[in-house]
Amino acid sequence: MTDIDKLKFSKLRKIPLRDYFPDEARDFTPWLERNLDELGDALGLNLEPIQREAPVGDLKLDLLARDIAGAKTVIIENQLEKAEHKHLGQLLAYAAGREAQIIIWISDEFKDEYRQVIEWLNQQTHTEIHFFAIVVEILKIDDSAPALNFKLVVSPNEWKRSILQTVESERRQRYRTFFQQLIDELREDHQFTNARAAQPDTWHYFTSGHRGFTYCVRFHQGTQVRVYIRIYEGDNENRLALFDALMNQKDAITETFGGSFEWHRNPEKQESQIVFVRDGYISWDTEDMKEIHEWCIEHLLKLKEVFDPKIRQVLDAF
C-alpha cells in the first residue's frame, strides 16, 4: 500500500507567453507557421500554412492556412494577451475578406463574454463555417523544459457531433474507414503525415513540405483510385510554370518512378495534377480493399521519394 504521507508531486506552473515570445508578429506567428501541425493536432486538422501577414483590404491577417483534408481556407488570429473586442472585429473582417471556412482565434485568455460570442457565431452561421477559440499557454514542471499547449475553449457544435457521430451512410463510412487506416499507417510506420482524423470523403490530401504542392489519394468517378501531386501555388501563370518545369523532366521521372503518369496542366482551373492511376472501387470486398490500401501506401511513398527533390529543384529556380 502506498504511504500517502510520503507522496510528493511536482507543481505545474504557467509561464508568461512574453517570456518566450516578446513580440507577437516577429516571434509567435513565425513560430506557429513553422509548427502549425501542433495546432492541427489539437483540433484534429491537417493544416498547411499559406501566407503570414496575408493582406485583407488595408489589414493584414496573422496567418492564412489551409485544411488539407477538407480543402478549406483557414484564418488564424493571434493575441498574446486577454481576448478583446479589437481582435474580435479583425477576426470577422478577415473571415469575410478571405471567405474562410475555419476561423481560429488564439489568445492568452477568453472571458465569458468572448466565449459566448464565438459560441453564438457557431450557432448562427452556415454549418460549413467553423469558429474556434484556443488558449495558448506555456507550462513547466519544476525546472523542466517549457511545453507549449493549445487548449480548445470553444468549438462548433457540429464539430463535436461529427467526432461522436456513429451513423452515416454505408459508402461514407467505407471512405472514412479506408482513409483512417491509410493515414494511421502513414503516420505511425512511415512518418509521412501528422494527420490523425479522416473524413468520409472520396479523397485525402497530405502536406508535402513544399508550399503549393500536396500529395493526394482519391477514388475517382467510382472506377479509379488515384495517387497524385496537386499543384496550386500562387497565380495561374506561376502554377503553370511550375507544372511545365516538372513536365520537362517527364521521361526521367517516368523511368525513376517505374510507371507512366497522366499530366493534367489544366490552364482554366485552379490546380494542375500529375496522376498515377489504377482500377478500384470503394465497395470492393475486404481482400481487394486491402490490396488497394497497400498499393496506395507503396505509391505515395514512391511519389514522395521521386518528386521531393524535383519539386525542391524547380522551386529553388523560381
C-alpha 291/C-alpha 20 separation (Å) is 49
Q: Distance between the two ends of the chain, CA-based, in angstroms? A: 68
**CA distances from residue 116 to 46, 81, 92, 145, 194 in whole angstroms, order as listed:** 27, 18, 15, 34, 32
pLDDT of residue 214: 92
> Cell digits for 54?
496575408
Map out the domains of the chain as residue ranges: 12-163, 167-317
Q: Kindly state the DSSP code that residue 24 receives in the 8-state scheme.
A: I
| pLDDT of the chain, 318 residues: tens digit per residue | 556 666 777 778 888 999 999 999 999 999 999 888 889 888 878 788 888 999 998 899 999 998 876 678 999 999 999 999 999 999 999 999 999 999 999 999 999 999 999 999 988 876 678 999 999 999 988 878 888 999 999 988 655 545 444 445 678 888 989 999 999 999 999 999 988 888 888 889 998 988 889 999 999 877 899 999 999 866 778 899 999 999 999 999 999 999 999 999 998 888 899 999 999 988 888 889 999 999 999 999 999 999 999 999 999 887
Q: Do domains 12-163 and 167-317 have the same CATH topology?
A: no
Model pLDDT, residue 17: 92
Fold entry, domain 12-163: Trna Endonuclease; Chain: A, domain 1 (3.40.1350)
pLDDT (0 to 100) of residue 165? 45
Query: Quick check: 201 and 218 in contact, CB under 8 A?
Result: no
Which of 2.120.10, 1.10.10, 3.30.1460, 3.30.470 would CATH assign to domain 167-317?
3.30.1460
